[in-house]
């Protein structure tokens, strides 16, 4: 991987983590005895977080520590001013002792915040934590409470594992929220085939995410292609790479609809041009300014985007599958790099879900239809064979017309097992394995303008999390989560089931982890309860991190199979009820309202 690909592609500095060492401000021996131990706590947290976290673009996470311990409102104000100048987007207060809560807490309304109250008996850090939680809750400023399970001795500079885990989970989710704020979602086109998720709900983007919405008609692609508003040198390099690495797959179209070899050659040139243009529209390209296109060179500062495609585009031009698959992958002709977030059919809500997953895992995401639930009986009837292992209770067929990232093949590895990794961990050999596992089949008949679809089968054995944000009238956004695994099924079963949908599209066989309760009592119920035709699939079981991020943004979670002991939300959530966390989540989000209202 080239270090040149570790960079911030967007306008604005990466958010930093602010560390606030709070202290008992009483002089004459009390404060003086605590200065070093309190500041050392802050330094230890900063070192731990900087060592364990990176931004999704590969840049290091920076921590900013207050200039002094915070014993009163003046020092709190000085710290707030420093954090604002430094671009702090996440705040963590640490203390081993009692402090004056109202004078020392962080009152910035839009910055996710947490407090680690040291569990020690010499000085009551836990007492401050409880009092500060109460102050935050009374003021309507949610705060995450971090309190170690085991008592430590005063001056113990270690951070217990349970505290580290909560600090990392909070910080990663907080950085995700802060990274999204102020960026754009770019709609390339409008509503595809009547899908409601394509509607760019500006109140959702502005009030819940702090984002702005940008819109570009798909005719802009035509203008840039016909007038050559793209880097010609890069186009030649990209086309050469594509010819060498993207082999064509089977063509299932009837003879009278098959495109000629000359048409396919033109299609390849068009889809490569589309890829360059979509990227330039998202983040800009200084090369365009050298060509005399200063406005186009700026881009739209889009951290996520979506391409409508169907049907106005695809009835006449090649489809967007190559563009979407390559951009959302962790590599292209420029090498291994951070994946882009580009949603098929301009599904704005799936794009946001993909963005959440990317910022929490640092890895590429799989865009897919939640296409079919196959029961064991149905599989036996259709194929004559039985599902076994993890698949024995039924499987969910995740597939779409071919826009899934190539990372979704599962040909990267962690500890010898299939994985989807942050781009800085991916090797050149793994890139080649992903490319070799993918065939590019000519698009099927309802893509009248031609194009190509990614055809691959995801390897089983990956822990994954399926997620989706939905908008509900009168309720607002809600998040669905289903942790589970990709599974391998016998090839003879796959071939029959895949043929019934489309053999030229990427397939991921998914099995949710069942809890025996509610919608997770069986696989069918998970499929039946899913709120949309689309989902995003992330590597790893990240349900708890998604719940933490959702609580920061005040988005309730309507279904999940995450163990209750792994759920980490602001302390005020317990005031809305402890017997049923799902109901309490709804009440808390409704009462607090959107983060940026």
Would you call 345 a catalytic residue per the annotation? Answer: yes
CB 319 within 8 A of CB 193: no
Q: Tell how many helices (H) and how many strands (E) occur in the chain.
A: 19, 22
- Is 534 known to sit in a ligand binding site? yes
Q: CA-CA distance, 94 to 90, in Å (whole number)?
A: 13
- Angle (CA) 18 22 25, round 5°: 145
DSSP conformational letter for 181: T
Centre a 10 Å sphere on the Cβ of residue 11 and count the other Cβ atoms it contains.
Answer: 14
Place of tokens 């040149």: 4
Locate all alpha helices (DSSP H) within 409-501, ordered by sequence.
428-436, 491-501
Euclidean distance between CA atoms 469 and 479, whole angstroms: 4
| CB of 303 closer than 8 Å to CB of 183 | yes
CA 163, 164, 170 angle in degrees (round to 5)?
A: 90
517 annotated binding-site participant: no
Query: Which DSSP helix (H) or strand (E) runs through 223?
Result: helix 219-227
- Relative to beta strand 63-65, strand 16-21 is parallel
Counting Cα atoms < 13 Å in the Cβ hemisphere of 225 gives 17
- Catalytic residue (one of 24, 62, 231, 345): 345
To the question of whether residue 110 is assigned a binding role by annotation, the answer is: no
- Strands in 212-216's sheet, in edge-to-edge order, are 212-216, 184-188, 302-307, 342-344
**Structure tokens that stand for 250 in this block:** 């089977």
> 373: alpha, beta or left, given left = phi > 0 and alpha = psi -120 to 50?
beta
Q: Read out DSSP for 488-541?
A: ---HHHHHHHHHHH-TTS-EEEEEEPP-SSGGGGSHHHHHHH--SSEEEEEES-
Helix (H, G, I), strand (E, B) or coil at 80: helix
β-sheet bridge partners, residue 455: 439
Q: Is 47 considered catalytic here?
A: no
Cβ atoms within 10 Å of 560's Cβ, excluding its own? 26
Task: Please identify which residue in the block is written with the tokens 């306008």.
Answer: 11
Q: How far is CA 436 from the centre of its chain?
A: 26
Token readout for 488 is 């391998």
Kindly give the pairing relationship between strand 412-414 and strand 417-419: antiparallel
Q: Helix 543-553 crosses helix 581-592 at what angle (to 10 degrees)?
A: 30
Alpha carbon distance 46, 250 (integer Å): 53
**Distance in angstroms (rounded) separating the CA atoms of residues 552 and 169:** 12
Query: Which candidate in 369, 407, 430, 498 is catalytic?
Result: 369
The backbone torsions φ and ψ at residue 322, rounded to the nearest 5 degrees and listed phi first, read -60, -45
Closest listed residue to residue 326, CA positions, set 390, 402, 389, 385: 402
**Residues annotated as catalytic (active site), given as ranges:** 345, 369
Provide the annotated binding site for Mn(2+): 345, 369, 534
Provide the annotated binding site: 345, 369, 534
């Amino acid at each position: 991987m080239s270090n040149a690909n570790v960079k911030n592609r967007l306008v604005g500095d990466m958010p930093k983590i602010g560390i606030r060492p709070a202290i008992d401000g009483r002089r004459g021996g009390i404060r003086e005895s605590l200065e070093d131990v309190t500041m050392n706590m802050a330094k230890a947290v900063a070192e731990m977080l900087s060592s364990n976290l990176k931004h999704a673009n590969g840049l290091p996470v920076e921590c900013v520590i207050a200039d002094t311990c915070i014993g009163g409102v003046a020092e709190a104000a000085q710290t707030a001013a420093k954090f604002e100048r430094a671009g702090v987007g996440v705040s963590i207060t640490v203390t081993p002792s009692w402090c004056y809560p109202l004078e020392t807490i962080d009152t910035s309304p839009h910055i996710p915040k947490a407090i680690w109250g040291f569990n020690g008996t010499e000085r009551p850090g836990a007492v401050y934590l409880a009092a500060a939680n109460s102050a935050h809750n009374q003021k309507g400023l949610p705060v995450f409470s971090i309190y170690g399970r085991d008592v430590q001795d005063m001056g113990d500079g270690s951070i217990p594992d349970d505290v580290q885990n909560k600090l990392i989970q909070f910080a990663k989710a907080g950085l995700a929220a802060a990274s999204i704020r102020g960026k754009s979602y770019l709609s390339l086109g409008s509503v595809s085939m009547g899908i409601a998720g394509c509607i760019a709900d500006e109140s959702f983007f502005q009030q819940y995410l702090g984002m702005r919405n940008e819109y570009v008609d798909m005719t802009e692609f035509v203008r840039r292609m016909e007038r050559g508003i793209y880097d010609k040198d890069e186009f030649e390099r990209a086309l050469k790479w594509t010819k060498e690495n993207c082999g064509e797959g089977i063509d299932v179209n009837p003879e009278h609809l098959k495109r000629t070899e000359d048409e396919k050659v033109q299609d390849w040139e068009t889809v490569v041009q589309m890829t360059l243009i979509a990227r330039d529209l998202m983040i800009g390209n200084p090369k365009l300014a050298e060509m005399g296109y200063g406005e186009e060179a700026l881009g739209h500062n889009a951290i996520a985007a979506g391409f409508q495609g169907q049907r106005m585009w695809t009835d006449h031009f090649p489809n967007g599958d190559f563009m979407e698959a390559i951009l959302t992958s962790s590599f292209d002709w420029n090498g291994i790099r951070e994946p882009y977030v580009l949603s098929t059919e301009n599904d704005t809500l799936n794009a946001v879900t993909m963005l959440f997953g990317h910022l929490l895992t640092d890895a590429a995401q799989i865009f897919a239809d939640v296409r079919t639930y196959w029961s064991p009986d149905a599989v036996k009837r259709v194929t004559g064979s039985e599902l076994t292992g993890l698949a024995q209770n039924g499987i969910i067929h995740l597939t779409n017309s071919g826009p899934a990232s190539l990372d979704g093949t599962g040909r990267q590895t962690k500890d010898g097992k299939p994985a989807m990794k942050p781009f800085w961990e991916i090797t050149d050999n793994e890139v080649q394995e992903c490319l070799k596992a993918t065939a590019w089949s000519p698009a099927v008949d309802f893509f009248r303008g031609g194009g190509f679809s990614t055809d691959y089968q995801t390897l089983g054995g990956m822990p994954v999390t399926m997620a989706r944000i939905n908008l509900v009238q009168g309720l607002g956004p809600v998040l669905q989560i289903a942790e589970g695994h990709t599974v391998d099924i016998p090839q003879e079963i796959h071939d029959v089931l895949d043929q019934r949908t489309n053999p030229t599209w990427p397939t991921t066989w998914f099995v949710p982890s069942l809890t025996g309760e509610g919608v997770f009592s069986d696989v069918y119920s998970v499929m039946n309860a899913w709120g949309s035709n689309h989902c995003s699939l992330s590597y790893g079981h990240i349900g708890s991190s998604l719940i933490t991020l959702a609580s920061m943004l005040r988005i309730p979670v309507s279904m999940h199979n995450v163990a209750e002991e792994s759920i980490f939300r602001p302390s005020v959530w317990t005031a809305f009820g402890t017997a049923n966390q799902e109901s309490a989540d709804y009440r808390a989000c409704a009462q607090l309202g959107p983060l940026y209202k």
